A = this chain, B = another copy of it.
Amino acid sequence: MPTSKDVAQAAGVAQSTVSYVLSGKRPISEKTRKKVEDAIQQLTYQPNAGARALASRRTRVIGLVIPFIPELHMASIMEFVSVIANTARLYDHDILLVTEDEGAPGLQRVVGQQICDGLILMQVEGDDERLPVVRSLHVPVVLIGIPHDPSGLVCIDADFEMAGEQCVQDLAAAGHTVISVLDWQPEVVDRHVNYVERFMSGTNKAAETLGVKVLHLPGGTDREVIGESVDKALAETTGVPAFIAPDGTVQDVLRRVLTSRGLTPGTDVSVIGSASPTLAELQPIPLSTIDLRPAEVSRRAVKIICDLLEAENQGPTESLELVPTVITHRASTLRPPHGS
């Protein structure tokens, strides 16, 4: 592997000049710049990341802490990961995976060994045990998810409250007066991620404002449970029933249960599910969907951390960003409640 020294020699300049050509931190004459760039081309020189990190105290690597909980609808997690990795490249950074299995010590490890300059944590719980460690780390950290006490932390998440509101507004606008909301799976609720309550609070708020009734029913992946929830909903509804199922996995089960009851979403029952546009396309049954915009959340998380890394001299930043939700209406839109 050629080094900057080789390039310098080939170009007939000092090694430091090569460095300055690359970094642009000092004016270089056209002549020498060209000589150096040619030499770089010839030798297919690429700077050594380790040496660069050692000298500059910047690795240009961001640690990404990913959850692996089978209940969490892996497909959407994968979308976060993919967008985060691609966005990081736009800012000339790379992503190092840190699995949740490593826990808080894992964070101390990658930061302590200076493998990465900052961290992004996904799926942050309300009372996440890693928060004390995060606060003690002397590098920028961005949380995806809002903990109960976000003081001193930089957080970002989709605006679940607005999502809840919009779902109810949409169904109310379609004429529904009774709306059933299926809860997330118990596994998610138990993690105390507070987006659950934020979403529910949004539905209640809209319900109150609009004078419609919202039924909160148990969710889960258990067909029986969903079956009961659906029956309860049907019993309390006259006309076309309406469901909101924010949890992707619950939504899958709901769809099956409705089908087995002879109900076709979009025709004799209104359903709003949740899915990113990308994934929504794959759904065999088109639904109205809430787009919680994972891609947007991911992009902004990366931008925030890169900005923090750029300006790592200012005082401690404390911010809390919410990304607005969007509702996408697809092939089968919402129906009026009495069969139109």
Docked pose: A285 CA to B221 CA in angstroms: 10
> Which of B48, B99, B221 meets A284, CB within 8 Å?
B221
A81 close to B53 (CB less than 8 A): no
> Which of B44, B86, B99, B109 meets A112, CB within 8 Å?
B44
6 closest Cβ contacts across the A-B interface?
A: A50-B53, A46-B112, A74-B75, A74-B78, A68-B82, A50-B54
Contacts of A82 in B (CB 8 A): 66, 68, 99
A284 close to B102 (CB less than 8 A): no
- Please classify how large the interface on chain A is, using the bins under 10, 10 to 19, 20 to 34, 35 or more: 35 or more
Docked pose: A263 CA to B106 CA in angstroms: 49
Contacts A66-B82, A259-B259 given; does A48 touch B113 at CB 8 Å: yes
A279 close to B70 (CB less than 8 A): yes
Contacts of A296 in B (CB 8 A): none
> Which of B52, B53, B97 meets A85, CB within 8 Å?
B97
A1, CB-defined interface residue at 8 Å: yes
> What are 12 A-B interface contacts by the 8 Å CB criterion?
A1-B112, A44-B112, A48-B114, A49-B113, A61-B96, A74-B76, A78-B78, A85-B98, A89-B99, A95-B97, A96-B96, A259-B260
Q: For window 138-177 of chain A, which residues contact chain B by CB distance below 8 Å?
A: none
Docked pose: A260 CA to B255 CA in angstroms: 12
A113 close to B68 (CB less than 8 A): no
